[in-house]
Amino acid sequence: MLADLVSDGEVVVLSGAGLSTESGIPDYRGETGRRRRADPMTYQRFTGSEAARRRYWARSHLGWRHIARAEPNAGHRAVADLQRRGLVAGIITQNVDGLHQAAGARDVVELHGALDRVVCLGCGERTSRERLDRRLREANPDWDATAEVINPDGDAVLDDDRIEAFRVVDCERCGGLLKPDVIFFGENVPPARVRDCYALTDRAGALVVLGSSLTVLSGYRFVRHAAAQGIPVVIVNQGATRGDGHALVTLDAPLGRTLADLLAALDAPATTATAARTA
């Protein structure tokens, strides 16, 4: 069924953290998330507390190294391959790791932003995370820390004394507060970005959800919208999701293997493809 829908083309992919766990990036709600307790930063805490910003940047400075080293996995490569074949018409990702693009995907809508960019809350200037990383290293030449646990979005668990010793830097242009160019909990996705995602969904031949529990409304709304428009919804995820009741097909399976099998089914000779398309 999945291969049949994808082979018709005009597929829009909606991806979540479960697609990146095979690249070593944990999630909040999937299998890796259930093994860990996490306290994600909120926009209100970040903007309202100098101590909260120090905590965030100290932990993220260390965790960023883990995210920056991550490589696309078979799932990311399969999505990029499907796009090159003309079968995927759009990609919406809830992830902030840039792994879709690293795998070769184009025109990815980053619903929640990207960790490799930094934005000033004062003047709005955007700069690269690599530049900020260099500045933070220069500002903290004697700072060292290790973390046994890396939470989602590159948030490394650190001792309080290491956090207190960390020095934060501000915008080089205006001295304003720097924030990763991602949507924090409690922050709204820009309306124009949401409209673009709705427009992609409206044009979809099928909406294929990859690795998202759809717990957060920002992604779930597109599943609900597609179903209301009569657009087939397929969900591939390890574990139940909030959108299962709207789906034509649900697969509880590892993403990398399932998407590799999908490519194999699409490449299979016509005499064997019918059997393979139960994937």
The catalytic residue positions are 112
Instruction: Return binding residues for Zn(2+).
Output: 120, 123, 171, 174
Take residue 125 and report the two structure tokens written for it: 């200037």
- Give the 3-state secondary structure of 100-134: HHHCCCCCEEECCEEEEEEEECCCCCEEEHHHHHH
In degrees, rounded to 5, the angle at the alpha carbon of residue 222 between the alpha carbons of residues 67 and 94 is 5
Q: Which is nearest to 152 in space by CA: 64, 81, 219?
A: 64
Instruction: Return binding residues for NAD(+).
Output: 94-97, 211-213, 237-239, 255
Strand (E) or helix (H) holding 33? helix 31-34
Cα 157 to Cα 35, 91, 275, 277: the distances in Å are 15, 31, 47, 43
Conformational region of residue 211, where left means phi above 0, alpha means psi within -120 to 50, and beta covers everything else: left
Instruction: Return binding residues.
Output: 94-97, 120, 123, 171, 174, 211-213, 237-239, 255
Cα 66 to Cα 115, 122, 140, 183, 246: the distances in Å are 12, 28, 19, 20, 35
